[in-house]
Chains A and B, each alone.
Chain A
Amino acid sequence: MKASLSWLRDLVALPSDIGLIRDTLDDLGLVVEGIEEVGAGLSDVVAVRVDEIHSIEGADRIRRVIVDAGNGPLQIVCGAMNFEVGNYVPLAPVGAVLPGDFAIAERKMKGITSYGMLCSGRELGIGDDHAGLLILDSHPGVAPGVALTELLGIEQDFIFDISPEGNRPDAWSMLGIARDLASRFTADVVDPASGLEVDGGQSTASAAIAAAELCGALDVLEISGVRVGDSPRWLQRRLEQAGMRAVNNVVDASNYVMLERGQPTHPYDAALVAGQHLGVRQARNGEVLKTLDGAERTLGQPGRGLGDTGVDCVIVDGNDTVIGLAGIMGGESSEIRESTSNVLLELAFFDPMTIARTSKRLGLRSEASHRFERGVHFQGRREAAARFVALLRETCPDLRVVAHHEAHGVLPVLPTIVLKASDVLALLGTEIALEECARYLEAINCTVVHAGDQLEVSIPSSRLDIRHSALGRADLIEEIARLYSYRRLLRRTPTWAAPGGLSSRQQTRRLVRSIALGLGWSEAWTASLISEEDHALTHAGEPVIRINNPLASEESIFRSSALVGLVRAWLRNADRGFANEAIFEIGVVAQHPDVAPTPRVARGGEAGATTLQLPHEREVVTAVLGRDGDDAQSAVASWSVIADRLALLEVEVRDGVAPLGWHPTRYADLVDVATSAVAGRVGEVDPALLELLGSQQFSGRRLGLIELDFSVFVEPIKILRRDVKTPVPSRFPSANFDLALVTPTSVSALRLRSALRVASDAVESVELFDVYQGAGLASDVRSLTYAIRLSREDGTLSEEAILAARTALLEAAMQLGATLR
């Protein structure tokens, strides 16, 4: 909403300090996005007559022009071509400073001195036309040397670009903004509207509502004696400053009323409306309307939007033919034209939700729809009509209001809300006297009745955002707080007994992050939305979680894995010359509900009445290890550090079938021995994937890969951790020896280690330190060498005890088919 200071000043007395007004608007919740100063820097600009035009040798883009500025001929070099001898144009003489701090000085071009600049509308900040000079011939009183500000009636002004909040239908009007300011500056609002007077005459028009739920009220003002022409200059300027285009006096008056009062109106050429009848009904499925913008709109068809059953409200003529899209845009057929002399003015209240749905489905927004979908001030229809008449009369002295027709539908019931001072205190924590509350509410046109220790507040239709009963009470208290000023409200830092803290998930995440950083990995954040092609690189054939309305096809799928994104991130760095890097990401991936083992279920749909199957989200840690020396082995070693730091009891690095994207023969699942929960995967990036990602330079590079499923580590526990009981190591010397065991390949090193650890009470630790496979051994076995450490809590182990333990260890090994090498 663009509000000029001069217009606001017409409605309410304001201080001179622009900064104060801006700050006040901000504090009232009427956020000022910017302030534009207009008419500044034009004081030196004068009208001049073009007397001669000469070409300049060697230049075809500029010409030498001799102008008369009222005090003799002046030579100007000019690049514009849209004028001829005899035209009047604006001149910024040497020494003038144009808007944007553009200082005019003497300039020499092609050896010719220019004593000033002839200007376009845009250079002067008074129009968008940049095509050529502003031609002033048609302005009455134009003569050489006349000041431009005088000629055009330009005054210095400030335009506030205000962005009203969604719950402020009133703020989409100058009067609404003025009312807020009036409350702050204890001034009165001057409403220029008078009562509507009907002149009478032979009435031929009529109005009817056939869809009472869609249209609460339809007034048709029957007007004769209209002569279509230009609006007064001041009115045109106000529309232009508000960002609208001046069209003709009828349309301009309608737009002016909308800006001033927030009530959109629509003027029809009565001669073009069959039967001089305006009706409102619901559009039939498939009806077509050609709107003012020239587009053909098919109406009444259900949309994709939730709950959009295709209800469109339309304006029809006496033949029941659709001539306008109610509250959004009129049709071409009954537009005001030069020959229009009788006008039907439509003033209505349309159901906000219907307008919102239609506007969204058709992708058609207008100044009118914007206001109707927020709810217009239906109580102010007569004043709006009167204002339209008064404005149009300025250019149409013969105008007559022949009749005022009214049709009625179902209007919203306006709430009456009971408010106590204690309600205000309970919500705001600041005590505001009931009298003061009443003053604020009256300032926004509420009707307030004092009844003992409470107020009975009747809400005006200018504030359809204010709800009924307890909800409306909260809305009213917000209004009180707003007009009282949020900045003046008290502050208190609350305390409560419950301690703060991180959940176990968050603590674990932080721990994993710190371990990853300690391992020398840097943290990345790759996109959650990826292309279908990238999805297929790791999940070919699996259904995708598709975005219906993506910004780009490369971001149309919610990822099921971070692998490709992370490999791409590594490759991008490598291509820049930073290949010696390991990167990781902690983030959410998801699986389509059709394939997820446990799809999430949640309520959704209208009123949350439907049970929806949702993708299964998992938080995963993914790491791509690409430093010199990184590979599947460094990934396994890194995993062992993580497992140790997370105090995991026994997770096996177990052979498994590599998923897509992983190197098929350098891969293992990470499986909890006790619970069989899969903690993640470890291995290498499939070299084929690197090739598919188009990496030439790094196609042979081994990239270690780890993916951990975070949910496994946190409540509910699916993976066993070391006992909380912490044994104190023996203070006595331990007995240490190695056992090299020829073990079938089917028995994992971890399984054998577990068996050895429980083989005897004397075992303190068992650690694998060598694996040998090859010469001297059959192909289905390998030699695993463990460092054994035996000890006793209460003394040194005897030779016998050591021997017994060794025997027990060997027996445990033999149980698994392993023999001493």
Chain B
Amino acid sequence: MNSPLDQLESLVAEAIANAESTVSAEELRQAEPLLIGKRSPFVNLQKTLGGLEPEERKSAGAKLQDARRRVEEVFAARLTILEAAEKSARYEVDRLVLGDVVASRVQLPLSAGHPGVVALTQQSLEDVFVGMGFTVAEGPEIETDWYNFEALNIPPAHPARGMWDTFYLDLGEPETVLLRTHTSPTQIHLMEAAVAAGTLPIHAVMPGRCFRRDTPDARHLAAFHQIEGLVVDRGITFADLAGVIETFTKAYFGPDIASRLRPAYFPFTEPSAEFEITCTICRGAGCRTCSHTGWIELGGCGMVDPAVFAAVGIDPDEFSGFAFGFGIDRCAQMRHQIADMRALTDNDIRFLRQFS
């Protein structure tokens, strides 16, 4: 008796030839039921296997599966080729040699551009500090634990590291590569470079993006912007720090806004202070924003800790210095009275349009 699979090879050859002869992905897809789908010869053959002995049925079934798989492979390969060709043909129709574009003949759409409020705020802060004699420096966003912590007098496992919820990267030893949690590592880079080049003193501000593992809310974003100031010079005291903070406060927020300092703790400054300014909403009268104290917290500051000078090789007997830092986004929020910080990253054009 003839096996139902006698003609299997010729059926496979025929199906493969049919698949190979299609000229479009569409045609191939339409042929799918006939080649490998419901109406393919494999389905009919499968039905005939029922009459065979169990042993025979098993080997015939395996043969049939193999034949079907071979056709399926050809089908898939052909489809990939046809689709790629069609896609490439579509792109080909679209082709444009950009080197031959005659710029003067292109009609550019006319529209008004609006700056980001963070960039705008950063620029005006930079301008105030440049006017006060500061240069502006920048540093990387991805840092090592040395620059972000240890050189700033925060050794590994020190509880103070808990003050900054840190995003760590999957690079190097655990917890060695991270997204900077503040702009302070730029201070270290700056001091290292100045020591190496013999270019002390330093009077610089350092703006930049920082990251903290905080769930965003109306007042916090996981990514945010800070501006940091560093002065390292001879004879610098806390009085200079307080003076610079006051001068800046009046210059940026207005002559009726004052600053004051209160004790705080930062591992990289000693003495350390938190600086507060007159509440810009109630002008000191007391309101909900300032919890009826008339003051709102702006940032931290202090005299550079001798341990930080030691880490970068600056002689604390010759030089002293101060540092301060605060949030750029927070300044933007205060100046433009933005209720929810998250608007800054929404990029809603209706929001962006309000800045110029």
Contacts and interface: CB of A to CB of B under 8 A. Distances in A.
Contacts of A576: 348-349
Contact of B265 (A27, A165, A683): A165
Interface in B103-158: 103-116, 118-119, 123, 126, 129-138, 140-147, 150-151, 156-158
A550 interface: yes
Question: Chain A interface: which size bin?
Answer: 35 or more
A519 B113 CA distance: 7
A660 interface: no
B100 A784 contact: yes
A588 B209 contact: yes
B94 A526 contact: no
B176 interface: yes
B262 A29 contact: yes
B98 A429 contact: no
A628 B113 CA distance: 15
Contacts of A523: 113-116, 119, 352
Given A165-B265, A305-B157, A550-B167, A470 B316 contact: yes
Interface stretch (B47-55, B62-70, B238-246): B238-246
Contacts of B244: 493-494
Interface in B152-186: 156-160, 162-163, 167-177, 179
B178 to A, nearest CB: 9
A500 B271 contact: no
B141 A617 contact: yes
Given A496-B203, A632-B96, A526 B171 contact: no
B350 interface: yes
Contacts of B344: 525
Contacts of A614: 140, 142, 144, 171, 177
B215 A517 contact: no
A750 B243 CA distance: 56
Interface of A is mostly: mixed
A326 interface: no
Contacts of B137: 503
Which residue of A572, A665, A782 has the most chain B CB atoms within 10 A of its CB atom?
Answer: A665
B106 to A, nearest CB: 4
Contact of A305 (B114, B119, B175, B350): B175
Contacts of B112: 520
A471 interface: yes
Contact of B215 (A551, A600, A768): A551
Contacts of A519: 108, 113
Nearest to A555: B222
B146 A603 contact: yes
B291 to A, nearest CB: 8
Interface string A579-599: 011110011101001000000
Interface in B212-253: 213, 215, 222-223, 231, 233, 235-240, 242-244, 246-247
> Is the contact region of chain B dominated by helix, strand, or loop, or is it mixed?
mixed
A628 B118 CA distance: 28
A604 interface: yes
A745 B97 contact: yes
A501 B135 contact: yes
Given A494-B243, A546-B170, A665 B145 contact: no
Contacts of B116: 523-525
B346 to A, nearest CB: 8
B41 interface: no
Contacts of A612: 144, 171-172, 176-177
B145 A604 contact: yes
A629 interface: yes
B119 A769 contact: no
Contacts of A493: 240, 243-244, 246-247
Contacts of B150: 606-608
B307 to A, nearest CB: 6
B306 interface: yes
Most B Cβ at <10 Å: residue of A307, A572, A638: A307
Contacts of A600: 140, 142
A518 B111 CA distance: 9
B320 interface: yes
A525 B97 CA distance: 31
A548 interface: yes
B260 interface: yes
Given A520-B113, A558-B169, A605-B146, A166 B98 contact: no
A352 B131 CA distance: 46
A510 B115 CA distance: 11
A338 B344 CA distance: 58
A640 B103 contact: yes
Given A500-B203, A604-B144, A492 B133 contact: no
A74 to B, nearest CB: 39
B254 to A, nearest CB: 17
Interface stretch (A195-203, A475-483, A794-802): A475-483
Contact of A749 (B100, B131, B203): B100
A665 B95 CA distance: 5
B353 A522 contact: yes
Contacts of A615: 142, 169, 171
Contacts of A641: 103
Interface stretch (A127-135, A286-294, A450-458, A651-659): A651-659
A505 to B, nearest CB: 7
B270 interface: yes
**Taking each of B110, B137, B263, B350, which has the highest tally of chain A beta carbons within 10 Å of its own beta carbon?**
B263
B61 interface: no
A770 B102 contact: yes
Contacts of A34: 291
A412 B160 CA distance: 19
Given A653-B98, A749-B100, A517 B157 contact: no
Given A166-B265, A356-B157, A602 B96 contact: no
Contacts of B267: 166
A26 interface: yes
Given A306-B157, A500-B134, A522-B349, A749 B126 contact: no
A494 B240 contact: yes
Given A427-B271, A430-B239, A665 B94 contact: yes
A28 interface: yes
A426 interface: yes
A632 B98 contact: yes
Given A356-B158, A493-B243, A520-B112, A549 B167 contact: yes
Interface in A557-587: 558, 569, 572-573, 576, 578, 580-583, 586-587
Contacts of B348: 572-573, 576
A637 B103 contact: yes
Given A498-B203, A612-B177, A430 B316 contact: no
A122 B316 CA distance: 57
A569 B347 contact: yes
A604 B176 contact: yes
B213 A551 contact: yes
B76 interface: no
22 contacts: A306-B157, A474-B306, A477-B270, A482-B271, A492-B242, A493-B246, A494-B233, A498-B135, A520-B110, A522-B115, A523-B352, A525-B118, A525-B347, A545-B142, A545-B169, A551-B213, A590-B142, A604-B147, A610-B176, A627-B109, A663-B94, A664-B91
Given A474-B305, A569-B347, A637-B103, 19 more contacts: A29-B265, A306-B173, A352-B159, A357-B157, A426-B237, A481-B263, A487-B260, A492-B237, A500-B135, A513-B119, A520-B108, A522-B114, A522-B115, A525-B344, A551-B222, A573-B348, A630-B109, A748-B99, A769-B102
Closest 6 CB pairs of A and B: A29-B263, A429-B239, A604-B144, A429-B237, A520-B111, A165-B265
Interface of B: 87, 91-92, 94-116, 118-119, 123, 126, 129-138, 140-147, 150-151, 156-160, 162-163, 167-177, 179, 201, 203, 209, 211, 213, 215, 222-223, 231, 233, 235-240, 242-244, 246-247, 260-265, 267, 270-274, 291, 303, 305-307, 316, 320, 344-345, 347-350, 352-353
